[in-house]
Structure 1
Amino acid sequence: MEADIFEYHREEDKVDLESFHGEKQKLIQPTSLKDPKLEKLKEVLVNWINNTLQPEHIVIQTLEDDLFDGLVLHHLLSRLAGVHLSVEEIALTSIAQIHKLEVILEELDKRLQDSFTIKWNVKLIHNKDLLATIHLLVAMARCFQPELDLPPNVRVEVVVVEVSKSGIKSDVQTEILTQKSVAGSDSLSNTEGDPGEDPIEQLLKLEAHKVNTVKKAIIHFVNQNMSNMGLQVSEMDKQFADGVILLLLIGQLEGFFIPLHDFNLTPVNPAEMLHNVTLALDLLNDTGLQVSSIDPQDIVAQDVAATLKVLYALFKKHKGK
């Protein structure tokens, strides 16, 4: 069986075992390459990349062949995180491509290593390693666009190969590409607890990383809709406490203008902040969103649950538009 595995990869994938002397490499089993779940994940990632980079007229066909030179990753990092690196646009030689990938992955790893185990490196990406490429893209999607609906519970069988002076050792393992439950906004509907309990209250009982994932999804949604006004949110509880961004977001999403004399654009005391938040909640109730149970004072006091409830109501109504 072991000989058959290496014969397959030698002919189809042209794996250079000498280049991995003293290292471990993971090779996806041929049967797993045909798994419909893996194919669906690849399709979703390709479509996500193409949709993200559509304004730049960049289109990829496959993950295996179109990300190794750093061009696509460079533009993804720029579009998703607003990071602009000083690297050449098109790297033609292997040396230039590897250098470009080093710069890009160094920046990406800084942003991903706190939330994800790093399962990729420059060598793997440049060698068109499908497993490492998918791990990297899934981590980027979870970090920068956590509302993206990735197929859950995608797993593949891999052969872990170790080349040494004494020969080749191999072991078959299962590699997890996506978790059982979809992270992002769907986490709110997957929480356990009293069916009648508010979804935000359920969410706040979960592990901190799940709460943070949903927060990132909502913040991304807010920033997408506020970008044309030159505003950006990074601290959900603090930046909505005075009601200004909340009012501007409501006007942007609901398509109406709130006269500046109706609220305090630069509130200087709690009373003015409370006026703004109260107006925002009244407007939401008028549009049919059920937020009457939320106390405006709680948002002014930077209560996370209250702020999340309001933003989630907007997110749920407008995220697909």
Structure 2
Amino acid sequence: MEADIFEYQKEEDTVDLESFQGEKRKLIQPTSLQDPTLKKLKETLVDWINKTLKPEHIVVQSLEEDLYDGLVLHHLLSRLADVHLPVEEMALTSTAQIRKLEMIMEELEKRLGRQDSSQIKWNVTLIHRKDLLATLHLLVAMVRCFQPELDLPPNVKIEVVEVEVSKSGIKSDVKVEILTAESSDTDSLSSTEREDPIEQLLKLEAHKVNTVKKALLHFVNQHTAALGLQVADMDKQFADGVILLLLIGQLEGFFIPLFDFNLTPVSDSEMLHNVTLALDLLKDTGFQLSSVDPQDIVSQDITATLKVLYALFNKHKGK
């Protein structure tokens, strides 16, 4: 990704002060736009959006230019929270875009749990105005809510100029805005502190592990029964990838052509092909399973198998 993709707010940009007389605005200091941690955060968020929306064939290049009309945010809300709003796909006029953003923000506020409006650092007007600072705050909040396992660069801080224009003149103040917390804070845990839930589970007493395994098994059989399949041994029946592929197709709502995988695999290589295809499909639909190796599932590693099934359960429970 070329560095200049993200450099839209230039030092020579002029600000129309009359356009926001009577209100306060925050403007990012031009020097902060060159901060490596901010650039890394923007790249991480763009990459996250593109991976999440890959099945929708939506590609974002600029956070400033590609999110203001509501299309990307609408699809993110649909993929991450399974929320489908009655809005037009392409809002071409400013009025339609604002109306669409209002509906999206209303749904996001329900899920992000923001009670105090004074603490919200974004709104419809700012997002539609292509305000980079507000867009970054919103996306970071969405990651924290919907995909907390995603590693955002820690301790990203930028300098902003808070400008207030009135009839009596212009007041300005330089402040530091925090986009992501320090790695030691609870909002940005270290990889050790933010251990995978399945890794944590397997440290518990055996009866608790078995209870969770039974719940996952019940979930699996609920969705494979329509295919005439029954899973009795979670440790072994997913090793060849067949049931896993059929389960993914059933849950995600797509058909996997039989010529794409081995329906009756007999060798390790055929099993590995099946499982690799299954994990690739999950990654393409937005699942974060970087710590799962296909060979582990073929080798009947219960930890790897549970991680995949838990990810599916976490997305599709209650459906």
Q: Same fold (TM over 0.5)?
A: yes
SS state at 2:64 partner: helix
**Is 1:166 aligned with 2:168?**
yes
**Is 1:255 aligned with 2:230?**
no
Q: CA offsets per residue over residues 61-92 of structure 1, 9 Å max, x none?
A: 11011000000000000000000000110011
Q: Which residue of 1 aligns with 2:18?
A: 18
Q: Which residue of 2 aligns with 1:88?
A: 88
**Is 1:142 aligned with 2:113?**
no
Q: TM-score, normalized by length of structure 2?
A: 0.60
Write the distance in 1 (CA, Å) between the matches of 2:111 and 2:176. 26
Q: Which region of structure 1 is more displaced relative to structure 2, 178-187 or 65-74?
A: 178-187
Contact kept? 2:21, 2:166, Cα under 8 Å: yes
Give RMSD over aligned pairs: 4.0
Q: Which residue of 2 aligns with 1:77?
A: 77
Write the distance in 2 (CA, Å) between the matches of 1:163 and 1:123. 18
Contact kept? 1:29, 1:157, Cα under 8 Å: yes
Contact kept? 2:42, 2:63, Cα under 8 Å: yes
Q: TM-score, normalized by length of structure 1?
A: 0.59
Q: Which residue of 1 aligns with 2:244?
A: none
Write the distance in 2 (CA, Å) between the matches of 1:18 and 1:83. 39
Contact kept? 1:160, 1:173, Cα under 8 Å: yes
Write the distance in 2 (CA, Å) between the matches of 1:59 and 1:22. 37
1:253 CA displacement: 9.8
Q: What percent identity do the matched residue pairs reach?
A: 61
Q: How does 1:13-92 map to 2 (within 5 A)?
A: 14-92=14-92
Q: Give the letter for the 2:22 counterpart.
A: G
Given the alignment, which residue of 121, 124, 138 partners 1:122?
A: 124
Q: How does 1:1-321 map to 2 (within 5 A)?
A: 11-12=12-13, 14-114=14-114, 117-181=119-183, 187=189, 189-191=191-193, 218=197, 243-245=214-216, 250=234, 255=239, 314-315=306-307
Alignment gaps of 5+ in structure 1: 1-7, 192-213, 223-236, 258-283, 290-309
Q: Give the letter for the 2:239 counterpart.
A: G
Q: Give the letter for the 2:214 counterpart.
A: G
SS state at 2:48 partner: helix
Contact kept? 1:69, 1:98, Cα under 8 Å: yes
Write the distance in 1 (CA, Å) between the matches of 2:65 and 2:179. 19
Alignment length (residue pairs): 224
The 1:143–1:252 alpha-carbon spacing in structure 2 relative to 1, beyond 3 Å, is farther
1:109 CA displacement: 1.3
1:248 CA displacement: 6.2
The 1:81–1:151 alpha-carbon spacing in structure 2 relative to 1, beyond 3 Å, is same
Higher relative contact order (CA 8 A, sep 6+): 2
1:119 CA displacement: 0.6
Write the distance in 1 (CA, Å) between the matches of 2:123 and 2:188. 30
1:112 CA displacement: 1.1
SS state at 1:158 partner: strand
1:152 CA displacement: 0.6
Q: Give the letter for the 1:138 counterpart.
A: V
Write the distance in 1 (CA, Å) between the matches of 2:71 and 2:103. 12
Q: Give the letter for the 1:83 counterpart.
A: V
Q: CA offsets per residue over residues 180-227 of structure 1, 9 Å max, x none?
A: 127899836454xxxxxxxxxxxxxxxxxxxxxx69x749xx9xxxxx
Contact kept? 2:91, 2:97, Cα under 8 Å: yes
The 1:23–1:58 alpha-carbon spacing in structure 2 relative to 1, beyond 3 Å, is same
1:165 CA displacement: 1.6
Alignment gaps of 5+ in structure 2: 1-8, 202-207, 221-233, 242-296, 312-319
Contact kept? 1:142, 1:183, Cα under 8 Å: no
SS state at 2:163 partner: strand
1:164 CA displacement: 1.4
Q: Give the letter for the 2:182 counterpart.
A: K
Q: Give the letter for the 2:165 counterpart.
A: V
Contact kept? 1:147, 1:184, Cα under 8 Å: no
Write the distance in 1 (CA, Å) between the matches of 2:166 and 2:16. 14
1:314 CA displacement: 4.8
1:53 CA displacement: 0.5
1:15 CA displacement: 3.4
The 1:98–1:218 alpha-carbon spacing in structure 2 relative to 1, beyond 3 Å, is farther
